[in-house]
């Protein structure tokens, strides 16, 4: 007779990749009060909560304007339309990113053109961009994993070609670059002509649902986004153009306002955790730590390493109660959704190498020291060091 066995119950990871519940508990009284305030006031769409958050977020980014929208995807889409991107236009971006970056280009009925990424950082490669700017309607670099792309190279190239720059800053709230001649570093969201942020719950600044924002120093661009997000309205019953229903709601704005005040401190904790990973994982196996280029300060959305044994290492971590992620396993130029663009495997070698080797490790303000040690021990154990 077969031996009776206890059923195997899958255990929840003791170290999750992101922990939105822990982020809530850390600020619970403030968040509960903000939510109650909105519910009592009964103003759920627009109103003072949204306006206050927009002002605070613009100030945080160092941009003149911020316009709250319903998601990061809406932010990208409406920013492209505000820039004047038209059906049939070409918009240059990367394939090593979340699908929304290229989807937004398709939503504007334009055509994404993918250029390769930099082997060292995974961000848009300025050398690859040089050949793609001719005739483009816009360029969308992505500050992937929170690391600003090489804007010092990209901005002058785009400027010379007369192509506007839309930053996809969905993963990089608070990341900054030092620009020659500036006294202080400049935050992402204030670097290009216009920028798109996501406040998806797991992002560095996360709402309790979908939310996003567009930032810009250009009042006209900001006004156009504000109109497009709200049915093209110029008055209550006057519609200047066909727009969308893509507003930021007041509950999300109130939650975001509370969390924004803690973002800088949270990013500083992430940076210390990154330093600890750097020390503990230096020289372990074939592991390549994330690049930290001079003059660019990351927001550490994820701590992303590269290894030729990515899938085996991820399995080992899973067994050790550690959740690691892959961002992203299939680059956009090889996704069925973008097959019509005509790309093939081998077209973007650095992008494809990143997709094959990248592994995202947990890094967030609520990650405890013991949890990080558990991640480090599991990785060192895998490589036998
Ligand atoms: C999260 C994300 C988006 C989309 O944001 P949503 O708020 O989920 O619509 C766009 N681009 C990048 C790089 C992202 O990580």
Checking if the pLDDT of 9 tops 90, the result is no
Q: What are the backbone angles phi and psi of residue 358, rounded to the nearest 5°? A: -80, 145
| Residues near 243 by beta carbon (within 8 Å), at least 6 away in sequence | 227, 228, 229, 230, 231, 232, 233
Nearest atom in ligand 1 to 200's CA: 7
Report CA-CA distances (Å) from 168 to 46, 124, 181, 196, 250. 24, 11, 25, 5, 24
Q: Which residues does ligand 1 sit against, CB inside 6 Å? A: 71-73, 97-98, 100-101, 142, 168, 170-171, 198, 200, 210, 212
pLDDT-derived band of residue 11, with 50, 70 and 90 as boundaries? low
Tell me if 105 sits within 8 A of 80, measured CB to CB. Answer: yes
Instruction: Read off the pLDDT of each residue in 200-215 and give the average, rounded to a whole number.
Output: 98
Checking if the pLDDT of 181 tops 90, the result is no
Q: What are the backbone angles phi and psi of residue 202, rounded to the nearest 5°? A: -85, -5
The answer to whether the Cα torsion of 51, 30, 366, 25 is positive or negative is negative
- pTM tops 0.85: yes
Centre of ligand 1 to C-alpha 168, Å, is: 8
Checking if the pLDDT of 207 tops 60, the result is yes
| Residues near 262 by beta carbon (within 8 Å), at least 6 away in sequence | 27
Nearest atom in ligand 1 to 73's CA: 9
Least-confidence region, from 8-12, 86-90, 270-274: 8-12
pLDDT of residue 180: 76
Please state, in angstroms and rounded to a whole number, the distance separating the CA atoms of residues 176 and 357. Answer: 26
Instruction: Read off the pLDDT of each residue in 141-160 and give the average, rounded to a whole number.
Output: 97
Q: Three-class SS of residue 55?
A: helix
Question: In whole numbers, what is the pLDDT of the chain averaged over residues?
Answer: 96
pLDDT-derived band of residue 385, with 50, 70 and 90 as boundaries? confident
pLDDT-derived band of residue 235, with 50, 70 and 90 as boundaries? confident
Among residues 365, 379, 221, which one has the least CA distance to residue 312?
379
Among residues 6, 4, 51, which one has the least CA distance to residue 248?
51
Q: Which residue, by CA, sits nearest to atom 4 of ligand 1?
A: 72
Nearest atom in ligand 1 to 75's CA: 9
Ramachandran quadrant class, 115 (left: phi over 0; alpha: psi -120 to 50; beta: rest): beta
Give the pairing type, strands 166-168 and 176-177. Answer: unpaired
Among residues 160, 163, 156, 118, which one has the least CA distance to residue 140?
163
pLDDT tens-digit map of 289-324: 999 999 999 999 999 999 999 999 999 999 999 999
Checking if the pLDDT of 74 tops 90, the result is yes
Distance, C-alpha 167 to centroid of its chain: 10
Centre of ligand 1 to C-alpha 304, Å, is: 17
Instruction: Read off the pLDDT of each residue in 217-239 and give the average, rounded to a whole number.
Output: 96
Checking if the pLDDT of 5 tops 90, the result is no
pLDDT of residue 306: 98
Q: Which residue among 69, 101, 148, 327 has the greatest number of ligand 1 atoms within 8 angstroms of its CB, and so is best to mutate?
A: 101
């Amino acid at each position: 007779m077969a031996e009776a066995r206890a059923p195997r119950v899958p255990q929840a990871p003791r170290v999750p990749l992101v922990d939105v519940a822990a982020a809530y508990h850390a600020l619970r009284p403030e968040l509960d009060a903000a939510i109650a305030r909105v519910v009592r006031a009964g103003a759920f769409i627009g109103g003072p909560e949204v306006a206050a958050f927009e002002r605070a977020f613009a100030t945080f980014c160092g941009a003149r304007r911020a316009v709250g929208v319903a998601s990061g995807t809406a932010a990208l889409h409406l920013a492209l339309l505000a820039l004047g991107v038209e059906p049939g236009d070409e918009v240059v971006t990367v394939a090593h990113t979340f699908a929304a970056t290229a989807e937004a280009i398709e939503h504007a009925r334009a055509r994404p053109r993918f250029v390769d990424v930099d082997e060292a950082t995974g961000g848009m490669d300025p050398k690859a961009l040089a050949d793609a700017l001719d005739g483009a309607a816009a360029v969308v670099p992505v500050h992937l994993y929170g690391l600003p792309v090489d804007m010092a190279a990209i901005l002058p190239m785009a400027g010379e070609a007369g192509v506007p720059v839309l930053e996809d800053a969905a993963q990089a709230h608070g990341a900054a670059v030092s620009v020659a001649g500036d006294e202080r570093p400049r935050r992402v969201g204030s670097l290009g002509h216009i920028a798109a942020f996501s406040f998806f719950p797991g992002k560095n600044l996360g709402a309790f649902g979908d939310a996003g924002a567009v930032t810009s120093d250009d009042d006209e661009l900001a006004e156009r986004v504000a109109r497009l997000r709200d049915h093209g309205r110029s008055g209550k019953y006057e519609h200047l153009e066909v727009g969308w229903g893509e507003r930021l709601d007041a509950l999300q704005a109130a939650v975001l306002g509370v969390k924004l005040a803690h973002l800088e401190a949270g990013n500083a904790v992430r940076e210390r955790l990154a330093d600890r990973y750097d020390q503990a994982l230096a020289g372990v196996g074939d592991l390549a730590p994330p690049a930290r280029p001079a003059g660019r300060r990351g927001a550490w959305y994820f701590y992303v390493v590269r290894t030729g044994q990515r899938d085996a290492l991820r399995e080992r971590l899973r067994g050790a109660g550690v959740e690691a992620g892959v961002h992203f396993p299939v680059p956009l130029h090889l996704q069925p959704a973008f097959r019509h663009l005509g790309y093939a495997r081998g077209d973007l070698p650095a992008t494809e190498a990143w997709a094959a080797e990248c592994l995202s490790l947990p890094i967030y303000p609520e990650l405890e020291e013991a949890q990080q040690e558990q991640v480090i021990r599991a990785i060192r154990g895998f490589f036998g060091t």
